[in-house]
Amino acid sequence: MLTVALPKGRIAQETLEIFETIFGETFAFDDRKLILETPNFKFLLVRNQDVATYVFHQAADIGVVGLDTLEEQGLDVIRLLDLKRGRCKVAIGMRNGETLDLTKPELKVATKMVNITKRYFADRAVAADVIKLYGSIELAPLVGLADMIVDIVETGTTMKQNGLEVVETIMESSTYLIANKNSFFAKKTEILDIYEKINGVINPS
Ligand code: PRP
């Protein structure tokens, strides 16, 4: 029996569809239920930001989560497979026409991805003032809270609608199948088996 942490929303849906393709049966959570048990799997529905936490603490053996979230959280889990879904990028956005000048003193950057942001600027030896926000990041440069933002860009519509544009891409992201390190040894056969099956759907030969 493997416990699988899935992030609520589209990614959970897409992952369950992969399981349906593999096993030829229906995998669906009952309304509002957070656990789905089948003979071989126990699926948990959690918040996107909590997937790696469940896996790291071994409350789940495996999980599915965005690379951006993994990089931001830095939890020690095994990255098994790129599922090539949920593609997006983490990018720096500024107001249309503005350019990124890393020599400017005291750059103010608003983001919900504080660790990725701090690492990006530290790697370039730039002293940036990183301001943590929880959402509506695109607002910050419009009202003078920050000079720029670091945020997720999927279609680019949110930035565009708010008069912002990408000036630099920090990383490309997609969803990954991850595993707890202890589970990977204790349940190696089961985990490698599901890994192979998922890989067969993602990367058909
Ligand atoms: C992300 C991000 C942007 C938006 C980008 O927010 O913070 O606001 O999506 O998508 P787009 O390029 O397709 O317009 P998300 O929907 O994850 O919501 P959140 O800010 O509440 O996390």
Q: Is 133 in the pocket of ligand 1 (CB under 6 A)?
A: no
What pLDDT does residue 205 have? 84
Q: Do domains 2-86+174-202 and 88-172 have the same CATH topology?
A: yes
151 CA distance to ligand 1 middle (Å): 8
What pLDDT does residue 167 have? 98
Q: Is 152 in the pocket of ligand 1 (CB under 6 A)?
A: yes
Pocket test for ligand 1, best of 154, 157, 164, 169 (most atoms within 8 A of CB): 154
Pocket test for ligand 1, best of 158, 170, 172 (most atoms within 8 A of CB): 158
157 CA distance to ligand 1 middle (Å): 9
Q: Whose CA is nearest to atom 17 of ligand 1?
A: 152
Instruction: Report the CATH number of the 2-86+174-202 domain.
Output: 3.40.190.10
3-state secondary structure the chain: CEEEEEECCHHHHHHHHHHHHHHCCCCCCCCCCCEEECCCEEEEEECHHHHHHHHHCCCCCEEEEEHHHHHHHCCCCEEEEECCCCCEEEEEEEECCCCCCCCCCCEEEEECCHHHHHHHHHHCCCCEEEEECCCCHHHHHHCCCCCEEEEEECCCHHHHHCCEEEEEEEEEECEEEEECHHHHHHCHHHHHHHHHHHHHHHCCC
Q: Is 151 in the pocket of ligand 1 (CB under 6 A)?
A: yes
26 CA distance to ligand 1 middle (Å): 30
Question: Which CATH fold topology does 88-172 show?
Answer: D-Maltodextrin-Binding Protein; domain 2 (3.40.190)
The model's pLDDT over 78-124, given as tens digits with 9 standing for 90+, comes to 999 999 999 999 999 999 999 999 999 889 999 999 999 999 999 99
Domain ranges of the chain: 2-86+174-202, 88-172
Q: Whose CA is nearest to atom 1 of ligand 1?
A: 152
69 CA distance to ligand 1 middle (Å): 13
What pLDDT does residue 19 have? 97
Strands 35-37 and 148-153: what pairing? unpaired
Q: Is 68 in the pocket of ligand 1 (CB under 6 A)?
A: no
Task: With beta carbons less than 8 A apart as the criterion, state whether 88 and 171 touch.
Answer: no
Residues of the chain with pLDDT under 50: none
What pLDDT does residue 69 have? 98
